[in-house]
C-alpha cells in the first residue's frame, strides 16, 4: 500500500521529501503546527518519532528532543492517538518511528493493530535486526503495514538483498556511518553506495542522515527517490521558531 502511494505521489516530482519530528517536542500543539506547515509546503510523507530514553541511532539534537519530550510525561498511547489525528487531518502517509523496547513493552500486536486502525502506513524500528524481528515482520504483514528497513554504507550487497526481501514501502538508506545530525560528505563514494542500494531492491529508496539543504537534495536527484530531513528542521525550530518551518521546507524543493 505504501509503495503504491509513494510511486503515485512521486510520479511527477524530481525527488520526494520525507520529514521527521519528535512527538512532544517542543509540544504536541507545536507538532500540529509544524506538520501543517510541512504538508502545506509539499512534503510527501513524514516520520513521527515516539520518544525513547536511549535513541541509539540519533545524534545530540534529536537525543535532546527525545529527552525533553519525555520530561513532559508524553506516553506511547498519546503518540499513537496523535498519529491517528494527523492521518485523519492530512492526506500524506505517516510512519511511526521508534525503538524496539517501546514495541516490546507496549506489546507488538497491540502496537501494530493500533497503528493500522489509525491509518498509519508503516513503522521504522532502527535497532531491530531482521534475524530478531520475525514476529514483528509477520504482525506487520498481517495488518498490511510496511516495515521499513535500513541499508548502511557497511551493508554488503548480499546483506542488502536479504534485508530488502523483508521490506515493504521503501528502503531507508543512511548516508554514512554514525548517528543522525552529523556532517555527511556528498561525494562519489555516496553515489557509488546509492547505486549499490538501488541494485539491491525494487523498492523506492530514501536517503537520510546529514541531508540539510537544497544543494544536498539536488545531489540526490537521480540517485534516490526520497530525501529525508530530520535534524535540520529541529535546528530551524530552535533557532527561528515554528513559523520558520514552512519557508525552510519550501526552500528545499527542486
| pLDDT tens sequence across 224-233 | 999 999 999 9
Beta carbons within 8 Å of 69's beta carbon, 6+ residues apart: 22, 23, 24, 25, 51
Using CA of residue 210, residue 215, residue 217, residue 222, what is the dihedral sign?
negative
pLDDT in tens, 80-129: 999 999 999 999 999 999 999 999 999 999 999 999 999 999 999 999 99
Using CA of residue 67, residue 115, residue 127, residue 43, what is the dihedral sign?
negative
The three grid cell numbers given for residue 188, joined into one nine-digit string: 562519489
At 185 the pLDDT is 65
Q: Is 119 helix (H, G, I), strand (E, B) or coil?
A: coil
CA distance 234 to 213: 13
Number of folded domains in the chain?
A: 1
Cα–Cα nearest to 126, from 65, 27, 38, 59: 59
At 58 the pLDDT is 80
At 176 the pLDDT is 61
pTM, to two decimals: 0.94
The H or E element containing residue 68 is helix 60-71
Domain harbouring 191, CATH code: 3.20.20.70
Which stretches of the chain score pLDDT less than 70? 176-185
φ, ψ for residue 49, nearest 5 deg: -85, 125
**Which residues are identified as catalytic?**
47, 58
Q: Name the H helices within the chain.
A: 2-10, 28-41, 60-71, 76-89, 100-106, 108-117, 134-142, 157-164, 188-200, 214-220, 231-240, 245-252
Enclosing domain of residue 200: 2-252
Q: What share of the chain is helix, strand, coil (3-state, %, to 5)?
A: 50, 15, 35
At 52 the pLDDT is 94
Q: Is 40 helix (H, G, I), strand (E, B) or coil?
A: helix
The H or E element containing residue 148 is strand 146-151
At 55 the pLDDT is 85
Residue with cell 526481501: 165
Amino acid at each position: 500500500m505504501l509503495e503504491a502511494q509513494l510511486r503515485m505521489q512521486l510520479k511527477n516530482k524530481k525527488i520526494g521529501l520525507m520529514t521527521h519530528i519528535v512527538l512532544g517536542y517542543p509540544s504536541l500543539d507545536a507538532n500540529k503546527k509544524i506538520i501543517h506547515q510541512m504538508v502545506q509546503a509539499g512534503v510527501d510523507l513524514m516520520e513521527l518519532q515516539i520518544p525513547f530514553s536511549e535513541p541509539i541511532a540519533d545524534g545530540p539534537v534529536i537525543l535532546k528532543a527525545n529527552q525533553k519530550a519525555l520530561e513532559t510525561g508524553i506516553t506511547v498511547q498519546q503518540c499513537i492517538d496523535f498519529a491517528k489525528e494527523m492521518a485523519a487531518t492530512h492526506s500524506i502517509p505517516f510512519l511511526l518511528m521508534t525503538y524496539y523496547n517501546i514495541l516490546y513493552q507496549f506489546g507488538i500486536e497491540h502496537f501494530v493493530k493500533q497503528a493500522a486502525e489509525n491509518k498509519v502506513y508503516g513503522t521504522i524500528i532502527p535497532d531491530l535486526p531482521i534475524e530478531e524481528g520475525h514476529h514483528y515482520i509477520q504482525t506487520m504483514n498481517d495488518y498490511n503495514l510496511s516495515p521499513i528497513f535500513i541499508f548502511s554504507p557497511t551493508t554488503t550487497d548480499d546483506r542488502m538483498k536479504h534485508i530488502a526481501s523483508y521490506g515493504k514501502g521503501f528502503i531507508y538508506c543512511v548516508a554514512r556511518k554514525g548517528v543522525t545530525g552529523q556532517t555527511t560528505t556528498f561525494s562519489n563514494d555516496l553515489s557509488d553506495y546509492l547505486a549499490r542500494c538501488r541494485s539491491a531492491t525494487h523498492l523506492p529508496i530514501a536517503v537520510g542522515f546529514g541531508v540539510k539543504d537544497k544543494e544536498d537534495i539536488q545531489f540526490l536527484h537521480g540517485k534516490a527517490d526520497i530525501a529525508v530531513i530530520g535534524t535540520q528542521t529541529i535546528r530551524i525550530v530552535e533557532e527561528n521558531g515554528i513559523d520558520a518551518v514552512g519557508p525552510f521546507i519550501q526552500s528545499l524543493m527542486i
